Structures are given as C-alpha cells and as structure tokens.
A and B are shown apart, each in its own frame.
Chain A
Amino acid sequence: MDERELIARVRAGDGAAERALYDAHVDRVYRLACRLAGDDDLAREFTQDTFVRAFERLGSFRGEAKFSTWLHAITTSVVLNGLRKVKRLRRREVDLDDAAGVTGTRRSAEPDLKRRLTLAIDALPEGYRTVFVMHDVEGYTHEEIGATLGIETGTSKAQLSRARAKLRDSLADFAGEWVS
C-alpha cells in the first residue's frame, strides 16, 4: 500500500493504518529526537508527542511536501519547544558557576575529546545546533532541513558553516587530531 493511501485510511479512522504509518516512521522520528534531546526519556516523550500531534493534525496535511518532511517538522518543533522548557527548569536548579565555561574548558580540565565535542555541540546556539545535527550527524540535505525547519536552503548552509566554525574554535586545542 502506498503512503498516500495509508494516510487516507488513517483519516478515515482505520486503526491498523495508524499503526502502519507509525511503524514506517517511528525509527527516524525517535532517532532525531534522541540526537536533539540527548536523553532517552525525553526522546521517548517527544516522539510520543510528535505522533499524538501528527494524528490529530493529519487533516491539515495537504500532501504538498513529503509526509516525512511534515512529520519531521512536527518533531523538531516538539523537541525544540520541549527542550526550551527543560532548560528553563534546569536553569533554576543549576548553579551559575557550573553552567559557565563549557566551551572555554582547557584540555587539562577535560581530556576526553568526544566529551568535549559533545559539550561544544550542546553549547551551540539552537539554530546552529539543529542544522548541524540534522546535516552532519543525521545526513539530511539542506533542502530537507529547509523544508523541515521552514527556512531557506541558503540559511541552512550559512548556519551549518557558522556551527562548524564555532566548533573549530571550541576544539582548537585538539587541532592535532584533524591536522595529522
């Protein structure tokens, strides 16, 4: 059964079609949620929220874009809004001194390159990080990112370039890793 027919069946209230549509897309949605959220419980919560919203709003899907693009747009919106709420909550809990210096940590203080890279990506501005994760980590094209995030392809390219530049600065003391 092709996806358009599957969507028509879901709209008609076919429960089996809902499950089939979920099965076809859940891996990718969950994967993106994991990458952006960095926490399994949050990723599950965001994935569930994405599908609840998608099924509720399926009537508004006009089929102009691919269904996966439409669904991933809901995913990124759910994840980014959810993370903003989580950040606000955590900001109240975390001491200001602990939060500072993520990118300025010296090598002696944080010898593990992967850990430093993770912290540096986490510290990127939200737009840069989203584009970087989608493009460099998950392999989306700039066209897909543009359609998903509702931005121009050129904006996606520019944000990726700035994200890489910031990461390069943050990891400058590890330059030997990629120069050699």
Chain B
Amino acid sequence: MMDDRFEQWLREAARDYHRPPPPGDTPREEMWRAITARRAARRRWGLATQPAFRWGVGIAAVLALGVAIGRWSVAPVDRAPQIVVSSPLAYRLAAAQYLTRTEALLTGFRAETRAGEPGGQFATQARDLLATTRLMLDSPAANDVRLKSLLEDLELVLAQIAQLPAGADREDVQSIDQGLEQRSVLLRLRTASPAGAAARAQGAL
C-alpha cells in the first residue's frame, strides 16, 4: 500500500525531472542545419581519405616540390627576366605517377565499355585526375610540346568521362571510346608513361 502510494507520488513528482520543452519548441531547424553540416563535413573527410584523393594530393605535392626545388636551385641574379629552372626529377616523378594512373583508368574504362556499361567509379576517378591534369598543364611539365598535346587530349577525355551520368547512353560512351581511338590517346599515353610497361608486365593494367 505504502509502496503503491510512493510509486504514484514518485511518478508525478518526477515529471519535472529535466523537463524538456514542449514538442512545438523543439529546436528542429537549428539541429537539422547542424546535422546536415556535420554530415557534409564527414563526407568531405571521407573523400579526403580515399586513395584516389590521396594520390591527387601526392602528385600535386610533388609538382609543388618541383617548383620549389627549381626556384631554390637558381641563384638570384640581378638581370631580368629571371629564369626559373624546374627540377627534372620531381616533374618526371609526378608525370610518371599521373600518366600511370590515367592509363589504368582509360584502359579499365575501355574494357568495361566493350564488355557492357562502365561503372560510376570511373566518373569519380576522372574528376580527380582532371584536377591533376589541369595542374600539370599549368606547370613547367607542359613545356614539353608532345606532353602538352597529350595532356590537352586527356583533359578533354577525362572531362567527358567525369560528366557521364549514371546509366549514360551507349552512344555517349561510344563517342568517348571513338575519341580515344581516333586520337591514339592510349598509344601516346603508353609511349609517354615510363612506368606503363612495368605496370603492364605485372598485370596491373
């Protein structure tokens, strides 16, 4: 009896325990904004930890290192204009990594195109490589006329792949494939890529 009375009293008295605001006063908009912001931040972080992104950052870092070494290695002189000499080793390394990855992507893309429909992962990888291509075009690596011409073709192809929607028409995919064929992009890429032969020999491509 006493227990029942106590429990009844307790329930009533405990209603005020850390009483929340009434349902209409829940700060739902404010919390929703915070939730969407946190999820967007986590997605960005997730992207940043993906291997493709890390490769891009790595290549960009090597390019930046090349520029820095080039500038550092030139003794300051009074006469103008100042000539900036790049570090051939750093650029060659960056270019080799970039070309090997691009070759792998385009080889995979062509293989899947011919087998059926290419997966959505190609668009993501192409977007990543596109940013590096533009970085390469703006760097002294593009002083090489043949490499510059190849980079310009790759920029076009990668932009096309990057913009391919999921479930793209077969015609869109085939036109990219034909462009690759007509401009001998893969052949030129394999010729320019010093690592290509080794990678192919290992069966990676």
Contacts and interface: CB of A to CB of B under 8 A. Distances in A.
A173 to B, nearest CB: 14
A47 B31 contact: yes
Interface string A112-131: 01100110010000000000
B39 to A, nearest CB: 6
Chain A binding surface SS class: helix
Interface in B1-37: 2, 5-11, 13-21, 23, 26-28, 30-32, 34-35
Interface residues of B, number: 29
Interface size class on chain A is 35 or more
Contacts of A52: 35, 38-39, 42
B38 A48 contact: yes
Interface of B: 2, 5-11, 13-21, 23, 26-28, 30-32, 34-35, 38-39, 42
A26 B17 contact: no
A22 B32 CA distance: 8
Interface in A43-80: 43-44, 47-48, 51-52, 55-56
Nearest to B24: A27
A133 interface: yes
A75 B13 CA distance: 25
A121 B17 contact: yes
Contact of B13 (A23, A113, A132, A179): A113
A83 B198 CA distance: 56
Given A48-B35, A56-B39, A179-B2, 14 more contacts: A22-B32, A26-B26, A26-B28, A31-B23, A31-B26, A35-B18, A43-B20, A52-B38, A52-B39, A117-B17, A137-B11, A177-B9, A178-B9, A179-B5
Given A31-B20, A35-B20, A136 B26 contact: no
28 contacts: A22-B28, A23-B28, A30-B27, A31-B23, A36-B18, A38-B18, A48-B34, A48-B35, A48-B38, A51-B35, A52-B42, A55-B39, A56-B42, A114-B16, A117-B13, A121-B14, A132-B14, A136-B10, A136-B11, A137-B11, A137-B14, A137-B15, A137-B17, A164-B10, A167-B10, A178-B5, A178-B8, A179-B2
